[in-house]
Structure 1
Amino acid sequence: MGLEQIKELLIAQGASRIVVKCLANNDNTKQQVYLGGSFEVLQLLPSGEIYSGGISKKGPIFKAPLDFWWLTDEGDICNAPGSQLILYPKYPEVRFSGFLQKCAQSPRHLMQPPTPEERAARLDKNRVLFLGISGKKIIGYVTHWDDPVSAQVKEFIEQGQLTTVASVFYALYKKTADSKEVLIGKLNDIYQQGLIPSQRIKNGEIVPYVAQNGAGFTLESLFGISPNGIAEPDFEDWELKAHSGRVVTLMTPEPNGGEYTESLEQFLRKYGWSNKPDRMDFASIHKNNLRNEKTNLCLIMQGYDPEKQEIIDPEGGLHLIDPEGNIAAGWGFSKLLEHWKKKHSRTCFVSYSKHDEDGIYFRFGPKLRLAEGADIKRYLNSLYNQAIYYDPGINMKLINDKWKPKKRNQFRIKWKDIESLYERVTDIALDAQDE
């Protein structure tokens, strides 16, 4: 098939984005397909929940299943149910495996380990892997070493005609315009609107919001986003954050271990406090390797080597430990990685000012900060070095003889430390956009 025909078939199968990678000799079933020397690919390719894969010869590993399908020359697709990403945090590195299992129409003959003679003969040739992203589904197609399309794509890359994506891929097609330009244009329109009343979306409709913390809800409403607590990007592949102070809330993951998950009431009675008979609270800053005097809990990052800046035990994580060594609450590394992959690839921090005359109003802009390339090593190192800290706001209230919970497990960072989390940070003034 020609290049345009491959694109058309992938688009016909629902692909809204197509990326390509020239495969090396080592990209095969035995050595697995190399997908980059960082975890950035996790934020490009939709995957299932990350889980611990134990210890391998290459150290700790994590795995994430893929909803992967092979495209045939006839335009049909065939599911490869064993497909998965394998994450090696020691390096870090991501590889693709299991892509031939239980799939009769997979390109098995193109993905086998080469003999020494084949390896030598193909040194200057490449197969090309096409990946069409359709929602949470990935559709793959691979060309032969001598296929004209392989040479054509390689030439496009060498001539700089394709943009790099997630370090090892190149963008071939995207259904919508560049999301960064669209985002800036949208925010520029919002800035030009001036003061906007505090509001949110409820049941599909914009309604007034009278509490003081309405900036984020208001900004989301202007993008048609309904608050749902799901850790996904807000606008295409961008997360939106309204920002006005010295501290930024990065994420709000619920613990997946410890006494907290067994009984929140028991957790609060044991580690929280109560100034009223009808209310219990747990709200105090916790930093790694420091005991909190109020809760008597110590936040400890277990299974992490700070000198090498790598995970050494995939079953470890960030745990609140009491003086007896019990885990009061904990976030396994798989939980932290899962939350990070979904939420922090590209973040747009939008400045705002609040006006309280005759109601609550916000003006968004003129300053934007576009942060891209959230590196997993930077993320984990910032947790260990206390740049990112745990700042919960959890309580239970006794209402009609029943305890009603409010959960807010925040991880926050000071504004001055934001740049340490990202590879690229760009500051933009919206009032300059029309010049």
Structure 2
Amino acid sequence: MSKKGPIFKAPLDFYWLSPDGEIEKAPGAQLILYPKYPEIRFSGFLQQCKSSPSQLMQAPTKQEREARQSKHRILFLGLADDRVIGFVTHWDDEVSLTVNAMVEASQYPAIATVFYDLDDDAVDTKSDLLNKLKEIYEMGLVPSQRIKNGEVIPYVAQNGAGFTLESLFGISPNGVAEPDFKDWELKAHSGSVVTLMTPEPNLGLYTHSLEDFLRNYGWSNNPERLDFASIHKNNLLNKRTKLLLMMDGYDPDKKEITDPDGGLILVDESGKVAAGWTFSKILEHWKKKHSRTCFVSYSKQDNYGISFQFGPSIRLAEGAGIKNYLHSLFVQAVYYDPGINMKLVNGKWKPKKRNQFRIKWKDIEALYETVVDVSLNEL
């Protein structure tokens, strides 16, 4: 907590590029989120790094400020695998003068208030995505399948639409919270409900002992199986589990996090935390997956084995702010819908974990800044 309210910090794997082409890590680099504003700051990028452009970050004298009135330094940021590499130019560098002239001539597209895309060969990911989906749509019915160990194999369960769509994009299921295709998250959609994410709890009894959690809050119809599967909504006591889902440290009027150590928790009648997710956990999972989401409609046929056809209806959703998500949780539009069990197999309890957060299709627009519906038939 700071004077500016709750803050969240995240280390950044950031490197400075020196004029001679060497890179050096800036170990103190971090991003700081101030949910109150909301605002994200980049800090610590000069500390303990000899290659950092500290000399270009000094406060100017009055004379220097006047001399640089119409000149600009330029910060270049590049992505290389899982690292960010930075380079800063001098006010009088030829690079600075050239790039400034090109920006003023609108030769580079603006992607934010002060950022421009300098990659002339950048791929239009939206067009690339739609072209691939049109190709998949024109394939017609596709047998249910998935990728395992690099090979496409049949998948016989009824819930194979997502796996099949991923396989057509060459994606192997791995549970990693990252976009599926370039910067787009893919979701096969059919019906009235959408699963948004499946983060494991990082609070409560659940994290210490799943068996104890299930014996305390689940149920059993036979001695060889324990279950926990019932919808939980914010501020509503679940009659079956006797657990209350609460948002601790959240101001619904301001739509702000008031306590960075708070989160979404399931508490029992004695106030004990059965399971929960810190705001940091929710934020980390949400930001990696949902900035740009493509919902792909599909139909299923199971006359001669299960097959799917994807399209033609596509929904492109962009700008999924964490504020929208937390508010949707508070007003019960997003809800917790687990499917957890343990089975006794050969004398040992075998767990199955599925911690789902879901929303009805009719409420999906509340999560995003822009939503556009596209028909692949018209491309």
TM-score for both structures, normalised by structure 2: 0.96
- Aligned counterpart, 2:306: 360
Choose the corresponding residue for 2:44, options 95, 98, 123.
98
Change (3 A) 1:69 1:378: same
Q: Tell me, yes or no, if structure 1 residue 136 matches structure 2 residue 82.
A: yes
Residue 305 of structure 1 aligns with an amino acid whose one-letter code is D
Write the distance in 1 (CA, Å) between the matches of 2:120 and 2:288. Answer: 20
Choose the corresponding residue for 1:247, options 190, 193, 212.
193
In structure 2, the residue corresponding to 1:171 is in which secondary structure? coil
Choose the corresponding residue for 2:17, options 71, 94, 118.
71
Choose the corresponding residue for 2:128, options 178, 182, 201.
182
- Aligned counterpart, 1:266: 212
Residue 154 of structure 1 aligns with an amino acid whose one-letter code is N
Identity %: 70
Write the distance in 2 (CA, Å) between the matches of 1:117 and 1:296. Answer: 70
Misfit runs of 4+, over 2 Å: 112-126, 145-169
Deviation of residue 97 (structure 1)?
0.8
Unaligned runs of 5+ in 1: 1-54
Residue 351 of structure 1 aligns with an amino acid whose one-letter code is S
Q: Tell me, yes or no, if structure 1 residue 298 matches structure 2 residue 281.
A: no
User: CA offsets per residue over residues 103-149 of structure 1, 9 Å max, x none?
Assistant: 11211111234456655654543311100100111110011223343
Write the distance in 2 (CA, Å) between the matches of 1:390 and 1:166. Answer: 35
- Aligned counterpart, 2:226: 280
Residue 253 of structure 1 aligns with an amino acid whose one-letter code is P
Write the distance in 1 (CA, Å) between the matches of 2:57 and 2:80. Answer: 23
Count of residues in Structure 1 that have an aligned counterpart in Structure 2 = 379
Choose the corresponding residue for 1:333, options 279, 296, 321.
279
Q: Tell me, yes or no, if structure 1 residue 220 matches structure 2 residue 161.
A: no
In structure 2, the residue corresponding to 1:180 is in which secondary structure? helix
- Aligned counterpart, 1:409: 355
- Aligned counterpart, 2:119: 173
Change (3 A) 1:357 1:167: farther
- Aligned counterpart, 1:39: none
In structure 2, the residue corresponding to 1:169 is in which secondary structure? coil
In structure 1, the residue corresponding to 2:166 is in which secondary structure? helix
Residue 207 of structure 2 aligns with an amino acid whose one-letter code is T
Deviation of residue 232 (structure 1)?
0.8
Change (3 A) 1:413 1:113: farther
User: CA offsets per residue over residues 299-351 of structure 1, 9 Å max, x none?
Assistant: 10011111111111100000001111111001001100100111111111000
Write the distance in 1 (CA, Å) between the matches of 2:185 and 2:122. Answer: 17
In structure 2, the residue corresponding to 1:170 is in which secondary structure? coil
Write the distance in 2 (CA, Å) between the matches of 1:394 and 1:305. Answer: 30
Deviation of residue 264 (structure 1)?
0.3
Larger displacement relative to structure 2 (211-220 or 173-182): 173-182
Write the distance in 2 (CA, Å) between the matches of 1:71 and 1:203. Answer: 37
Residue 99 of structure 2 aligns with an amino acid whose one-letter code is V
Q: Tell me, yes or no, if structure 1 residue 421 matches structure 2 residue 367.
A: yes
Q: Cα RMSD between the aligned structures?
A: 1.6
Residue 292 of structure 1 aligns with an amino acid whose one-letter code is N
TM-score for both structures, normalised by structure 1: 0.84
Unaligned runs of 5+ in 2: none
- Aligned counterpart, 2:156: 210
Choose the corresponding residue for 1:375, options 283, 307, 321.
321
Deviation of residue 162 (structure 1)?
2.5
Larger displacement relative to structure 2 (79-88 or 253-262): 79-88
